[in-house]
Amino acid sequence: MTRPLAVPGGTLVLDSEGLAKAVLRDRAVTARLSLARADDLRVITSAATLVEVVHPRVNWPALEWTLSRLVIEPVTEPIARHAATLLSNAGLHGHKHAIDAMLSAIALAAPGPVTVLTCDPEDLAALCGGRVTVIKV
């Protein structure tokens, strides 16, 4: 007898602060990640967020281990176009909010329900238009 394919029960999205705290093994973020896995949620971030989280003192082995446990979604042309629309609709400028907009477009394309862990709850809520749950980390 074969097992049916698992269908995720939703998606947990990490912005740069969520990812950085996961790398640092922050208790609150680690607990959310454990719950997400227990609830069969997909845990994702964007390729742009991966670039944003790197700094001179990053613990590369911890970053690589953390990344191995989540899905890094690419920023494709359709995602970039959707991000541009989200910025326009929210009245925000791409120079300051581009990475948040790309992450928002990826979150909105993910299987729901979607929760985003972020340090910018106001910006993400404005970009996502209330279609995702936003939690400050």
Which domains does the chain carry? 13-136 (3.40.50.1010)
* 3-state class (DSSP) for residue 24: coil
For residues 118 and 25, give the distance between their C-alpha atoms in angstroms, rounded to a whole number: 16
Walk along the chain (137 residues) and give the pLDDT tens digit of each residue.
554 455 558 999 999 999 999 999 999 999 999 999 999 999 999 999 999 999 999 999 999 999 999 999 999 999 999 999 999 999 999 889 999 999 999 999 999 999 999 998 999 999 999 899 999 99
For helices 16-23 and 60-67, give the axis angle rounded to 10 degrees. Answer: 110
- Residue 102 tokens, joined: 């790309």
* 3-state class (DSSP) for residue 66: helix
Contact 106, 13 (CB under 8 A): yes
Catalogue the E-assigned strands of 6-51. Answer: 11-14, 42-46
Give the pTM: 0.91
